[in-house]
Structure 1
């Protein structure tokens, strides 16, 4: 057996997402399983090099996990020929500059979404990576969730017949930060720092709908900042300049209509923090992060509208759970493994910086749609 080491500069691991999902539950989890099996007796061993601005935080993480390499000098790590992959989970506004520098240094790049705060920058990054001949990847974790994998299985099997519509609900109450600390960093609510739920979530819905059904061809959105004042990490009040909710209607290339509400100012009355319902001529399904339940047309009840009588039908009990029928890994880790395999073996890969640019495009058009009060076409992007 041959062990091949891939050194990965990981920038942004002091943040919640970069630390929990990417470092601990993905890269370190791959190491815990003995590396990534490449076949033919070869194993890929990821070696993280932690990068960030706060030396104390980086040192603490490295000590906690027995990691030998960390630095606050991004230029130095990009100049290191033994580092072949650069990963970025910084705040969005800082991402384009760091990615440009990594691409110029010849590194393969993998990053969180959105890739940039503007479509111009997002497309520029995709062109730079293409022209430099480096491999690129953008995190699109939702399609690797067990619930959505089950939903995709149903779509591919023809369970729905002709798909009519998708209804999606995402969100939860993010505390304002006064009497309880907020679950999200304050920059999320400042437009000048790249914040806003439209910029955060519409890139997710772009790839989710594309992967499940077909590309989005038009968008009509309404954004809102329901909570105008919040309290930051130091206890100081600040004005929320970014949207905390977006209500969007999408037309898909196959004729499906999708409606997805996203909000950080909603209290949860769902089984999971995100749920999607697909309705088709032959059946319907509701999927969350992990579970998926279905109702086929052959067993669909016949409700009758009568507001004068109490509802006695157990609507939720009339649906059937879709079995797992497989072992589901952490979605972030699953995509990390595919990207590392792509870097090592040039295996097929479609979630590159151009795919990331499509998400930025949809978010940009969603904000413009809300500002102009009209539906906008979503043209297919090319480089």
Structure 2
């Protein structure tokens, strides 16, 4: 096999998501597997350079994982023509600045969501990338989860008949950090609005692409947010006031008269099989999809319960559901999308997850926050790819 090197500037790998999902389980996993086959006996071999502000942390990560290159000088890295991709999983508030600099340097850009802190900023990046002719991409990992892919398989087969509704539950209890030696599982900036924290900005970007690409485009939104835990303890043991939302209760009207509800919470204790699931009801059948599993109940297998609180329930409802088989080898969702993006850069193959999609996610988050503030339903204006991406 002939190797073709592809250099990737990776900014933000000292964070949990950047390190675990993007560096270790995606880019290095591709490298350790011998590269990404792209046809004609050629494999793409990722060559990352780790970029950040803390040289000691970068060195420790590089040494631990066999990476030979790291730097605290982003400007110098962007000026190196040998590296053609810039990846950003750093602080959201700095994303527009860094991504703009990468585009100016002629780099192809792939980045985490949210694309930016406002839809106006996100659309600026989308237009700039399109005008510069660079290959742009936004992370939309949940589309590549095994459970969601199985759910999409059911939809494409016509299993549901007419889809009526979608109910989603996401979240878990994030410890406050103030008792029992239980540190918080999430960084403190998540709970500071002034540092672009909040579950609405974080998760509504996900729900936008999940709903749009799995079911139908979102047409309107109603949202109630909350800061249920007003005081937390940070990484240094210091008590601080939580100024950002830690829970969101969203309702969405989708094209085709589909109604969706998704609860997002860092203040809930889990009583379900996975940290995230979607319950879909249709005229012909229903399904429950999680991160990995998907179970179905067809119309012909649906029990006939009758409401009678005076008698014990005769049904074991969970036993009436059937598991959707894997029928495939499902790899890490982030890695799957990285492979698609690398092929997009190297071969020009289609990659639909553009900055415009990223802007749509930020748009829904903005409207969710506005809906909460104004306590009303809001229409979701259509953002057309053609209008944004034309040079």
TM-score range, shorter chain: over 0.9
Alignment correspondent of 2:17? 17
Mapped to 2, the partners of 1:159 and 1:337 lie a distance apart of: 30
Mapped to 2, the partners of 1:157 and 1:146 lie a distance apart of: 17
Counterparts of 1:362-381 in structure 2, within 5 Å, are 362-381=364-383
1:224-259: CA deviation from partner (whole Å, max 9, x where unpaired): 000011110000011111100000100011210000
> Helix, strand or coil for the counterpart of 1:235?
coil
Alignment correspondent of 2:294? 292
Displacement after TM superposition at 1:60 (Å): 0.5
Mapped to 1, the partners of 2:10 and 2:90 lie a distance apart of: 10
Mapped to 1, the partners of 2:336 and 2:323 lie a distance apart of: 24
What TM-score do the two structures reach when normalised by structure 1?
0.99
> Helix, strand or coil for the counterpart of 1:277?
strand
Alignment correspondent of 2:157? 157
Counterparts of 1:134-173 in structure 2, within 5 Å, are 134-173=134-173
Displacement after TM superposition at 1:271 (Å): 0.5
Alignment correspondent of 1:314? 316
Matched, 1:209 2:220: no
Alignment correspondent of 1:280? 282
Counterparts of 1:1-383 in structure 2, within 5 Å, are 1-179=1-179, 180-382=182-384, 383=388
| Structure 2 unmatched runs, 5+ | none
Displacement after TM superposition at 1:280 (Å): 0.2
> Helix, strand or coil for the counterpart of 1:143?
helix
Displacement after TM superposition at 1:2 (Å): 2.2
CA contact (8 A) 1:8 1:86 kept: yes
> Helix, strand or coil for the counterpart of 1:198?
helix
What TM-score do the two structures reach when normalised by structure 2?
0.97
Bigger shift: residues 352-361 or 1-10: 1-10
Mapped to 1, the partners of 2:269 and 2:353 lie a distance apart of: 32
Mapped to 1, the partners of 2:109 and 2:231 lie a distance apart of: 36
Displacement after TM superposition at 1:310 (Å): 2.2
> Helix, strand or coil for the counterpart of 2:50?
strand
1:80-131: CA deviation from partner (whole Å, max 9, x where unpaired): 1111000001121121111111111110000100011111100000011001
CA RMSD in angstroms, aligned pairs only: 0.7
> Helix, strand or coil for the counterpart of 1:234?
coil
Mapped to 1, the partners of 2:274 and 2:47 lie a distance apart of: 35
Displacement after TM superposition at 1:194 (Å): 0.8
| Structure 1 unmatched runs, 5+ | none
CA contact (8 A) 1:213 1:254 kept: no
Mapped to 1, the partners of 2:67 and 2:248 lie a distance apart of: 41
